[in-house]
Amino acid sequence: MLAAIVLAGGESRRMGRPKALLEIRSRTFLETLLEVTRHPRVGCQRVVVGAAAEEIRARVSLPCETLVVNPEWRRGQLSSLQAGLRSLPKGTEGAIVCPVDHPLVSSALVEKLIAAFDFSGGAIVLPVYEGERGHPLIFRATLYDELLAADVEIGARAVVRAHRDATVEVPTDEEGVILNLNDPEKLRRAMGGSS
């Protein structure tokens, strides 16, 4: 069983409102990511919230075990990933990690990443668009302890770098894997391109 963790704990300063609740293609970023990570191999989903926890809880109907509040959200994205990992049931084989500001990915891409995870044995599986690595990525459970012990100032990148030889890259033609919609101008451009 895999888990899917949507990281939605940040303050969204540049956007001015919670990114999880922004809409593109008639659905919120959060709803989109929950939908694309529904897969027979995904046995649990987690949404890690922080700065806008109450607003997200009020606006999006989620089972209580799905919503994880990160009280240390100010420490950065890795702290939210760590909160998500700590909330998982025992026995997950890996975690699909989805930053909430990367909503333009498809369920077909997630399926390709899961297939690569299952058949490669890699510790990390991630998409690559035109030579650039993107999101979401999958961490095998063997890396959970390392991620939980990682320095929040450095983030998960240090863990990815440490396992360069065990990282599987999945080529994709989906530009969404590298599109970080974290300010109003990027969102406007993405919406213009999606009409």
- Among candidates 194, 192, 186, which has minimal Cα distance to 19? 186
Please tell me the distance from the alpha carbon of residue 159 to that of residue 149, in angstroms, as a whole number: 10
Kindly state the tokens that stand for 54.
């109450």
Rounded to whole angstroms, the Cα distance separating 188 from 42 reads 32
As a whole number, the mean pLDDT across the chain is 91
* pLDDT average, residue stretch 9-31: 82
Beta bridge partners, 125, equal: 138, 168
Name the band, by pLDDT with cuts 50, 70 and 90, for residue 13: low
Range of the domain at 79: 2-193
Torsion of CA 190, 192, 193, 195, to 10 degrees: 120
Which amino acid does the sequence have at 141? Answer: A
Question: pLDDT band at residue 194, thresholds of 50, 70 and 90?
Answer: very low
Instruction: Decide if 19 contacts 100 (C-beta within 8 A).
Output: yes
Q: What is the mean pLDDT of residues 154-180?
A: 94
The candidate with the shortest Cα–Cα distance to 6, out of 140, 98, 88, is 98
Q: pLDDT at position 177, please?
A: 96
pLDDT tens, residue by residue, 48-83: 999 889 999 888 888 889 999 999 999 999 999 999
- The number of folded domains in the chain is 1
| Contacting residues for 105 by C-beta, under 8 A, at least 6 apart | 33, 36, 98, 127, 135, 136, 174, 176, 177
| Tokens, residue 10 | 């940040």
pLDDT band at 15 (very low <50, low <70, confident <90, very high): low
The pLDDT, as a whole number, for residue 186 is 65
What number is the average pLDDT over the span 154-182?
Answer: 93
Q: 188: which 2 tokens?
A: 């406007």
Least Cα distance to 112 among 102, 126, 101 occurs for 126
Q: What is the pLDDT of residue 18?
A: 85
Q: What is the CATH number of the domain that holds 128?
A: 3.90.550.10
- Strands 2-8, 42-49: pairing is parallel
Per-residue confidence (pLDDT) for residue 10, from 0 to 100: 83
Assign 180 a pLDDT band (cuts: 50, 70, 90).
confident
Q: What is the enclosing helix (H) or strand (E) of 137?
A: strand 137-140
Task: Say if residue 40's pLDDT is above 90.
Answer: yes
pLDDT of residue 187: 67
Six token digits for residue 174: 């989906």
Quote the percentage of the chain above a pLDDT of 70: 91
So what's the pLDDT on residue 189? 73
Q: Which amino acid is at 170?
A: V
Of the candidates 123, 112, 114, the one whose C-alpha atom is nearest the C-alpha of residue 160 is: 123
